[in-house]
A and B are shown apart, each in its own frame.
Chain A
Amino acid sequence: MYLRKFGISILGAVAFIFSSLSFADETCMSPYMAKIVGQEDYVYVWTLGVEGLGDEQDKLVTIDVNPKSKTYAKVVSVLSVGGRNEAHHSGLSDDRKYLWAGGLDSNKIFIFDVHSNPRKPTLHKVITDFVEKTGGVVGPHTFYALPGRIMVSGLSNNTDNGGRTALVEYNSKGEFIATHWLPTDGDLRGAKKTGKYADGYGYDVRVQPRRNIMLTSSFTGWSNYMMDFGQMLQDGEAMKRFGNTMVVWDLHSRKPKKVLDVPGAPLEIRCAWGANNNYCFTTTALTSKIWLIYEDDNGEWQGKAVADIGDPAKVPLPVDISITSDDKGLWVDTFMDGKARYFDISDPHNPVQVYEEQIGSQVNMISQSWDGKRAYFSTSLLGNWDKTGEADEQWVKLYDWDENSKELTNKWTIDFYKEKLGRAHQMRFGAYSLYSSTTDNKKAVTLLDK
């Protein structure tokens, strides 16, 4: 009688129970996205074209990174997009079928199909009306997957080319949904200003859905990021035009709740994975600090500087950061000195640097595997901000990371100038087993809801 009442077959019920007992440890790993928990097959590098080099165009470069492959550590595909756009960041859709990549100058968004043939991506769609559709947002930067959608953070606007900007929401088909402007002194949009600033600037976006929180950081507008770096440093007015805020949003309603002072251009945001770790990290480019954005005991979100990165007086310029999947380690790349620093963040309120390594003359991005054993580094920051002369190295490097001995070991380097590719920027992973499963690959990669 009960079985009739409960309505589902015993077989199904057994399966339910098995899953709840066997797979519990694999939950709560990642919001939104299918995850490669084993060996990645490819790294996709969104690359800036360089005048006088190769075809001079921006391109998606595919590197074979599976050690079992005959073309391991080789470039296996180059897909040029027909011009230079100030290629910058890229992000995968939640099903990892498409890679969205932006041009900070052209405002174009390129959507690559990376699932039909992961070894040879194709250009699926180009969004060319970003500024028009969004009501004047400029500089599509971060592409962050929400269920069936992509949240794009802007860097600028077409009114003054400054830092005031917005979040823009697209559906998975590449169709515009909505623009969410960041709060300013002139229009706080219901948010509470907690300090000196409400600049409306934008850069990165991350979420913690179980707390219904979305966080944004702030950089600078088109007039600065397209300016020559040395010239900008000498321009006092330009140097005032950097973001000093992070905004805490109500994720579900897309409404800004609170503006936090985080002075010195807070850039990348990385949130903890742990089910009870209600905090995220960022680093400030100009003041060289790690900031912790956390929920306090009263449920209020706060921000505080928790560590210096190198010697802030020397302006090492922290750029990309990467948190380990166990929330115990944070990689921090510093562009000016070309170093990767590893911080023990077991106590998030007191990060301690435990390792550093010279990666090159300049380094920007880092992408690490889920198990933390592999870390890929790339060089380019912005076309007009990269170093010049011999210091302008452009490469992608793979390092093995030994957590026990705290040692990075360089496995290979692909010279993007020698290969006539361009400036290597953001790296994203691909794998065959994201899209179908055979007995050969099903243990390598798991498609997880969390």
Chain B
Amino acid sequence: MMINIFLKCIFFFAFLHPTYANNDLQAERDKIKSERNSLAVGWRDNLDFKLPKPGSYKLYNIRESGNGKVIDEKGKEIYLHDAMKGKITLLSFIYSNCTDTNGCPLATSVFYKIQEKLKNNKKILSKLKMISLSFDPEYDTPEVMSLYGKDLSYIDAEWSFLTTNSMDSLEPILENYDQPVIRKYKNDGSYDGVESHLLRVYLIDDKKLIRNIYNVDFLHPDLLINDIKTLLLNNG
């Protein structure tokens, strides 16, 4: 069984990485792809509807984005807003042990696909920042986040994998972004990790205003790229 699971792991990443090809594995890959197609829209290659033309609609100012101290992959403490570098930012809260297919893996997969789809569009890519921030600092040390993100951001995209130094640092950030998390507690009341979370990805403009919030029903790379283009067009 473990061999089977291991093989499926390989197939999973093969799906994430289109450059990896093995004809012998095609059937299994198709099976996994089929399963995924019955899941969230973000796992599908194409949206089922035609998107409005970029710039033809308005992305409203939802509110100011939150700030707070975070730690980068090298263990350096920085402010979340500084990590955005004045660019259009996609921010996702994740944790490395996430087991919800339509949660963190989906968000990470969508970010990965965005950079792939934009890899020949340096103009947009140069104005985009992607941040995956852990909401489980107990387990996700900078080393773990570095490992999680290693090689995922291999194109010219700026994609940071951040964490915080404690729950005390993290909670105000989660509160500001209204990022819901259900945490597990043992019957003696001690912390037992993350149970589940409501997937949210935030589109933040260069003035640090939240301009869209996506959950599993909206999180598709084509839709996010459409919104990024809209922000760039609206900003002239």
Measured CB to CB, the residues of A under 8 A from B are 2, 4-21, 23-24, 27-28, 31-32, 34, 94-95, 97, 146-149, 169, 171-173, 175, 177-178, 209-212, 250, 252-255, 275, 433-440, 442, 446-450
Contact = CB atoms under 8 A, between A and B. Distances in A.
A437 B35 contact: no
B61 A177 contact: yes
18 contacts: A6-B13, A10-B9, A16-B12, A17-B5, A17-B9, A18-B99, A19-B100, A95-B178, A147-B214, A173-B178, A253-B56, A254-B57, A255-B57, A436-B183, A436-B184, A437-B184, A446-B196, A447-B197
B147 A9 contact: yes
Contacts of B199: 449
Contact of A19 (B57, B101, B180, B183): B101
A438 B187 contact: yes
A212 B180 CA distance: 24
A1 to B, nearest CB: 11
B121 to A, nearest CB: 21
A147 B200 contact: yes
Nearest to A33: B198
Contact of A13 (B12, B151, B223): B12
B225 interface: no
A449 B103 contact: yes
B102 A7 contact: no
A172 B52 CA distance: 26
A250 to B, nearest CB: 6
Interface stretch (B36-44, B68-76, B83-91, B123-131): B36-44
Contact of B215 (A19, A147, A252): A147
A434 B195 CA distance: 11
Nearest to B103: A449
B177 to A, nearest CB: 8
Contacts of B151: 4-7
**A-B residue pairs, 3 tightest by C-beta:** A253-B57, A13-B9, A7-B151
B49 A211 contact: yes
A81 to B, nearest CB: 24
Interface string B7-25: 0111011001100100000
B38 A24 contact: yes
A20 B105 CA distance: 10
Interface string B116-154: 000000000000000000000000000000011111100
A5 to B, nearest CB: 6
Interface in B158-186: 178, 180, 182-186
B218 A12 contact: no
A9 B196 CA distance: 20
B100 A449 contact: yes
B200 A435 contact: no
Given A250-B52, A436-B183, A437-B184, A148 B38 contact: no
Contact of A436 (B57, B62, B182, B213): B182
Contacts of A171: 62-63
Nearest to B95: A12
Contact of A8 (B13, B39, B100, B184): B13
A170 B167 CA distance: 29
A19 B105 contact: yes
Contacts of A275: 38
A271 to B, nearest CB: 12
Nearest to A11: B97
A211 B195 contact: no
A6 B153 CA distance: 10
B30 interface: no
A147 B60 CA distance: 14
Nearest to B193: A437
A27 B217 contact: no
A255 B151 CA distance: 40
Given A6-B17, A16-B12, A17-B8, A449 B102 contact: yes
B200 A148 contact: yes
A133 to B, nearest CB: 13
B150 to A, nearest CB: 4
Given A14-B5, A253-B57, A149 B62 contact: yes
Contacts of A146: 213
Interface in B174-231: 178, 180, 182-187, 195-200, 202, 210, 213-218, 223
Nearest to B184: A437
Of the listed residues B96, B152, B180, B183, the one surrounded by the most CB atoms of chain A closer than 10 A to its CB is B180
A254 B152 CA distance: 34
A291 B196 CA distance: 38
B101 A23 contact: yes
Given A14-B9, A20-B35, A253-B57, A447 B198 contact: yes
Contacts of B150: 4, 7
A12 B148 contact: yes
Contact of A211 (B48, B100, B198): B48
Contacts of B200: 147-148
A252 B57 contact: yes
B39 A20 contact: yes
A12 B184 CA distance: 19
A450 B148 contact: no
Contacts of A434: 182
A5 B17 contact: yes
A306 B6 CA distance: 51
A20 B199 CA distance: 16
B40 A450 contact: yes
Contacts of B16: 6
